[in-house]
Structure 1
Amino acid sequence: MEEVNQTTVTEFILTGLTENPVLQLPLFLVFLGVYLVTVVGNMGMVILILFSSQLHTTMYYLLSSLSFIDCCQSTVITPKMLVNFVTEKNVIPYPECIAQFYFFCAFAVAECHMLAVMAYDRYVSISNPLLYKVTMPYQVCFWMIAGVYGMGLLSATAHTVFLLRVFFCKANIINHYFCDLFPLLELSCSGTFINEVLALSFSAFNIIVPVMTIVSSYIFIIVSILHIQSTGGRSKAFSTCSSHILAVVVFYGSLAFMYLQPSSVSSLLQGKLSSVFYTIVVPMLNPMIYSLRNKDVIVALKKLLENITFFLTKNHFP
């Protein structure tokens, strides 16, 4: 037992996306740009909704929560990945690795449920527009958001508690650009059956339940739209949920592409690339999808910029 303890892993080495030195600098610049756009876009959306009174509705509070989740998820992964492009070995201590996995899992699960909650909100908005404020008051919005974060924290805590019981020795090279569950379990010197069962159970719940909620909501939404008499009313109803449909397709499409891959050595690089799309690119795309396809957001942004310009002009040129 004493000899085993001496080989206990205290740090891991992340292999990153590529070991080709020619690609290191270009990839660093690309992902740095993606990360900056992600932070500016998502935090800009949060600030815009916070300071625009016309956006103080349940729909936009949920959207600001989604933007916050996307920004946090990207921040958990991208900065450490950028380090890998400028250092010879991207070393991550064991506690930091576990913490990275915990927060990534929490925000990933939260996004799954947040998209489901947003789909239900769209259903209520379209099926009962006159009773929308009564059905979806701020208190309901608060508890739905709390439930979304609660599910994320519960899943992350359960995974992390059982991951802490896994024993790592000797092998410490993670064939990934961040500390994900299965790459970590591949390095285990102890049994991982419980971890795999837990991963399957939570994955099934956190994917199937939100997907079923989204599908059910949009079935009812389509039925409600078909009952609208005017063409203009149908077009307006569809435009209110088109952005969410696009976000759902992009998110779950990339998620399915990442996990429905053959488990073979030849697919490791492809798995990394699909993971990049899910963990880094999608958080960048969401604010673009909602801002460019939403007239209320565009109007609120123009008004906020006008107020800022007026304030700066007034203070610099009295």
Structure 2
Amino acid sequence: MTNDQSASARQAPVTVVGLGPMGLALAGTLLDHGHRTTVWNRTPGKADHLASKGVRPAATVAEAVTASPVTITCLKDYDTMFEVFDSAGDALRGRVLVNLNSGTPKEAHAAAGWAAERGVSYLDGAIMVPPPMVGQPGSVFLYSGSREVFDEHRATLASMGDPRYLGADPGLGVLYNTALLEMMYATINGYLHATALVGSAGVSAVEFAELAIGWFLPAALGPMLAAEAPVLDEGDYPGDLGTLEMNLNALEHIARTAEERGVHTDQPRLMREIAARAIADGHGGKSYLAVYEVFKNAAS
């Protein structure tokens, strides 16, 4: 491949469907890397800020899909993906769909079958970083399914983050995703519960974090939780980058994946129940750290 061809591959047109916090980050990053980027969202206003930077909003899903050889979807779940793209008719036929929704391996296999029936080249995947880290050094994206599709569009995928190919089984991406997210949630829950324990003696979250984070927490989480320690003391949990309700969706997928795979389910079910309790207490629009309120108040 010549340098001109390589540059062309890196800057191929891309469509992004779904403009939640993560979809906005994906589209903005692709644009920053020189891709002609088209977007579609059920709520058109979500694209206004990106449009001012050069992203092209499409009026329909069909228009969005036909604008690019590759469409990246970042929606709530697989059922939403089916609903959105079925409305596009045959517009996706002969094109590539990269699905970055969350779900279970069984759902990923069903999606691969759905795509094959419609003549769509399909790659399933998962995003392993929060929206602000998309496109940054250390950001990891997982992919599984067609190796041919992955290799052909690797340069485009690399614009969003380090692309890791896991294998031909389309369910591997979401399986790895749920396993790694379970580790993350279990670690955060342990830290928040421990903070509540020392807090019962009047120790502030900031004071505890100075020891706890350096002693135990991994590099991937430690700096983030250290920065958020004042939030715990203030009891203010902005959900701008992801709400507790969004996290409950991921926890639901973790529990269902454990059930699908015949693995012990008590831990993921408990984490799901804790998040649901926080939502029932009125914290659904706040960040996941709001489960700290559950841990603090359970005794009462």
Bigger RCO (CA 8 Å, 6+ sep): 1
TM-score normalised by L of structure 1: 0.30
Considering fraction of residues, name the structure with more strand. Answer: 2
TM-score of the superposition, structure 2-length normalised? 0.31
Q: Which has the higher helix share?
A: 1
